[in-house]
Amino acid sequence: MTSKKLVNSVAGCADDALAGLVACNPSLQLLQGHRVALRADLDSLRGRVALLSGGGSGHEPAHAGFIGKGMLTGVIAGAVFTSPAVGSILAAIRAVAQAGTVGTLLIVKNYTGDRLNFGLALEQARAEGIAVEMVVIGDDSAFSVLKKAGRRGLCGTVLIHKVAGALAEAGAGLEEITKRVSEVAKAMGTLGVSLSSCSVPGSKPTFELTADEVELGLGIHGEAGVRRIKMATTDEIVKLMLDHMTSPSNVSHVPLKAGSSVVLMVNNLGGLSFLELGIVANAAIRCLEGLGVKIARALVGTFMSALEMPGVSLTLLLVDEPLLKLIDAETTAAAWPNVARVPVSGRKRSRPAPIDPPEAPDSTAVAGSASQRVGLVLERVCSTLLGLEEQLNALDRAAGDGDCGTTHSRAARAIQDWLKQGPPPASPAQLLSKLSVLLLEKMGGSSGALYGLFLTAAAQPLKAKTDLPAWSAAMDAGLEAMQKYGKAAPGDRTMLDSLWAAGQELQAWKSPGAGLIPILTTAVKSAEAAAEATKNMEAGAGRASYISSARLEQPDPGAVAAAAILRAILEVMQSQGS
């Protein structure tokens, strides 16, 4: 079965993609009759060296994303994973030559088709009297034994674009640029890893992996790698990659040693999430610095992809100060990242947290036995939420990401860890404030924010008094804050429905002679009934409001959780004879 792609047609997808890039970038132009993109200001390059690169489409943003002042002059694109036509390459060479450039350097990745087609165009251009040179980039560090075809050209080619572009912008000649980038390419290596394959539009995936396999050392055209390894943690996979790239037993290794200075590229092969990319980058930096390697610059993003392949490649380039200046030189290329011109290694990556303000004296502190009861209540609430994790997640899947139970369990574990550090505060106001901070920091999601708002607001009436009317007022304050910032109202099918129902019953605490347990029992029953009733409500707030009400046949998980918390509180109070 072929994969789904957002294309107009398989045959025209490469043309449409390049046309889209040019349409969005006024600094680019298409060369009529060819799949070629050029700088719109070609006339400004008179007397300078032009830089052309290219290859098959499907590697976006490479190569056209790197056209601009300080990088490439133009790009010739082939069909997906297919070398560009000789005629288009020659047309691009002629176009820059006729604009008054003094020579053209072709920067070509080491693949047979690219070498042949760019090489043939070079020979034809030279026959016309055009000064043309070609560098073939092979930065693949996958093969321990050198193949006859040489090392494949991978993401490190983008760094060659940058170095060559900086030299050309500075006015260097064709011979000098060719010599310099050829030397730089020898001090560079790239290795990729992927969780699965990619698929060319109109085709099936190029290879298959089982659920516990990862492909190591693969290229950028969907071809399989040098070996398959078992799925492991990011730290373990990144260490394996860097060990392979730097091992002296590997003929294509990067000769790193303690004290070496490198540029690190962490390249998304197309389908990896930015979350995963950040984890990989962190692992690579920690691993390299653990070896005593200095990271001069770190570039993280999508530079040379393989369509939608969910993988990543690491590129290491040994640098000195002169080379670093070329990497840092200004460029207008849209896909080149805005990288800080300071070393990554050797700087502080965190700062001390702000100091908590001193707590004001509180005259409402409860006795030791009451503080012990608070601990029992919190423990029961935590055990209740942990026991409901799967049920709440199942209820939440109907309306979104299915993590309501996980979120509440995270809060429960955070409270349990907090209780291990010592008894809870004796003051009710301080207790709720501490819980608010804890949930805001540890629980996460909108639930954490809503509970945090509720507890912060509820703490305020308890600073002066802690009698039953004060606790009723605390409930009112918490509900008001939730409605103000959460924009939910009773009947909107949220956790507020349970809490609101309980709050209405707790108004009875404001009457003289009101009893704690009888009214709390009524409030809990009302909250449970309200939670059950949410399955017949149309969601008016929260993520569920975007889902058709016909699909929401179960009660709201937040309302169920809130009612369960109230039930847990009641049960402990009853067992303690309050």
Active site residues: 221
Bridge partners, 200 (sequence order)? none
- Helix 445-459 to helix 404-420 angle (10° resolution) is 50
Consult the annotation and say whether 58 binds a ligand: yes
Residues 366, 155: Cα–Cα separation, whole Å: 65
Task: List the helix and strand counts (H, then E) for the chain.
Answer: 17, 12
Give the chain's length.
Answer: 578
Consult the annotation and say whether 253 binds a ligand: no
Is-contact 260 294, C-beta < 8 A? Answer: yes
Residues 23, 31: Cα–Cα separation, whole Å: 13
| Omega of the bond leading into 59 within 30 degrees of 0 (cis) | no
Residues 568, 373: Cα–Cα separation, whole Å: 13
Consult the annotation and say whether 109 binds a ligand: yes
3-state secondary structure of 266: strand
3-state secondary structure 14-82: HHHHHHHHHHHCCCEEECCCCCEEEECCHHHHCCCEEEEEEEEECCCCCCHHHECCCCECEEEEEEECC
3-state secondary structure 367-379: CHHHHHHHHHHHH
Residues 208, 210: Cα–Cα separation, whole Å: 7
Q: List, as one string, the DSSP characters of 474-503.
A: HHHHHHHHHHHHH---TTSSSHHHHHHHHH
Consult the annotation and say whether 525 binds a ligand: no
With b for 16 or more beta-carbon neighbours within 10 A and e for fewer, the 69-85 pattern comes to bbbbbbbbbbbbbbbbb
With b for 16 or more beta-carbon neighbours within 10 A and e for fewer, the 432-447 pattern comes to bbbbbebbbebbbbbb
Q: List, as one string, the DSSP characters of 207-263.
A: ----TTEEEES--SSS---SEEEE---HHHHHHHHHHHHH-TTSTT-----TT-EEE
Residues 431, 378: Cα–Cα separation, whole Å: 11
Other Cβ atoms less than 10 A from the Cβ of 110: the count is: 19
Work out the angle at residue 368's Cα, subtended by the Cα atoms of residues 366 and 370, and round it to the nearest 5 degrees.
Answer: 60
Residues 515, 508: Cα–Cα separation, whole Å: 9
Work out the angle at residue 24's Cα, subtended by the Cα atoms of residues 19 and 29, and round it to the nearest 5 degrees.
Answer: 55
Residue positions forming the annotated binding site for substrate = 56-59, 109, 114
Residue positions forming the annotated binding site = 56-59, 109, 114
